[in-house]
Amino acid sequence: MDSLIDLIFIFDICLNFRTTFINNAGESVTDSYVIGCTYLRSKQFYMDVLSSVPFSELLSIDILKFLGILKV
């Protein structure tokens, strides 16, 4: 279930690179390059990336490697 939720967050990040927005002049921005650059500069991008990282799986892999080193 956790992996499914992580995949949904990753899909959301991909969608945000294609989602139009309204700029300060009140115009709808549809240029993919401008949308992507704006999203990468936003705080929301970093929050989305942090929320999609599967920390539980990364920690379990590190713990297994550590236990393997202890066996040696």
- pTM for this entry: 0.68
Band of pLDDT at residue 50, cut at 50, 70 and 90: confident
Of residues 49 and 56, more confidence is placed in: 49
What mean pLDDT comes out for the span 17-27? 92
Write the secondary structure of 2-71 as one string of H (helix), E (strand) and C (coil): HHHHHHHHHHHHHHHCCCCEECCCCCEECCHHHHHHHHHHCHHHHHHHHHHCCHHHHHHHHHHHHHHHHH
The percentage of the chain sitting over the pLDDT mark of 90, rounded to a whole number, equals 50
